[in-house]
Amino acid sequence: MRLNKYISDTGFCSRREADQLIQQGRVTVDGVVASYRTALEEGAVVLVDGQALRTRSEKKGRKHVYIALNKPVGITCTTETDVKGNIIDFVGHEQRIFPVGRLDKDSEGLILLTSNGDIVNEILRSENNHEKEYLVAVNRPVTPEFLAGMARGVRIHGQMTKPCRTRRIAKYGFAIVLTQGLNRQIRLMAAAFGYRVTQLRRVRICNIQLGPLKLGQWRNLTEPELRGLLPGRTDW
């Protein structure tokens, strides 16, 4: 088994975060600092920052955690607890959880968190085309030309964004549905047309709606929501 998969299978973090831990030299296997090429033999002792990882069998059958949070502005989607206003301390869950993807510090709304690192990459994989819907307020009146341009795609970060759906919801507001998650994507797309985003709220991820969840509150996902988010899987 690859080392990053072993770490994520314990629920400690996602594979992507495990790669970062390995790169930072924070993972040892049988007392030796690990690399991406480290072979993981059966019975090997894997430590992160000198602490042993608990396997799922050692967690006494506790189910994984899947929650939806209505994130306020000012909260940073990071597991680094030395970052002021990090999302982990904000939620304060008894289990070790981490965010699925990110939502800018200056944005609010729906974000998912889980203790199951094995499913994070599946949810984030771009070819799965999971929809994310946002409500956006801007500093200029929304025009049909602006909405059409956003929907066609905009060059940011040296690449064209994927076509998306847009609709006007107010003189200074619109809704947009994306199937990708580039860094500060909506803000940069709007800026390409001379617009400045003044408020941004995510209201849906795939089949999961923000609904009446109050700002700063979180709830557990339901089984129907998990089935829609992870079709074909039952190992939640």
First-to-last C-alpha distance (Å) of the chain = 21
**Is the CA virtual torsion 122, 78, 109, 176 positive or negative?**
negative
CA distances (Å), origin 230, targets 31, 42, 179, 206, 233: 37, 30, 16, 10, 6
Are 137 and 173 in contact, with CB atoms under 8 Å apart? yes
Which residue of the set 9, 104, 106, 118 is catalytic? 104
104 carries an active-site annotation: yes
Any residues with CB less than 8 A from the CB of 130 and at least 6 apart, and which? Answer: 123, 179, 205, 206, 229
Residues labelled as active-site residues:
104
